[in-house]
Amino acid sequence: MSTIPNDFINFLVPVIQEFDGTVEQVRHRQLALGNCLTAINEELATLYKQCPGDREIEEYIKRIHALRQRMIEASIHVKIIEDRIGKMEQSIAKTRT
């Protein structure tokens, strides 16, 4: 028998589902942003080939690289949250059986 009150579980399940939906939205937006950054980076690379040594283009390439690194870090955080949500869902499922 679970020591977690049913009222709390009934409250927690929709909250977890909402977080799960939000995480999915974040993933979708990250994918769109990643595609956009890739396209921008490809354009900058083409420009840089035409104007090698252009410092302004180099700066933008560095900025895009930094944004991609931040996206990677954000993806890791989203994965951690997904794992935690999964563990909470498993715990709740165990308490209901």
Domain for residue 1, yes or no?
no
Q: Is residue 80 part of a domain?
A: yes
Decide if 76 contacts 63 (C-beta within 8 A). Answer: no
The pTM of the full predicted model, rounded to 2 decimals, is 0.63
Domain that holds residue 60: 6-96
Q: What are 42-84's pLDDT values in tens digits? A: 999 899 899 988 999 899 889 988 988 998 888 888 888 888 8
Rg (CA), the chain: 21
Any domain includes 37: yes
Residue 30 lies in a domain: yes
pLDDT in tens, 9-46: 888 888 888 888 888 888 888 889 889 988 998 999 89
With respect to residue 68, please indicate whether it lies within any of the assigned structural domains.
Answer: yes
Provide the number of structural domains found in the chain: 1
Question: Does residue 72 sit within a domain?
Answer: yes
Q: Estimate to the nearest angstrom the gap between the alpha carbon of 85 and the chain centroid.
A: 14
pLDDT at residue 46, rounded to an integer? 92
- 58 found inside a domain: yes
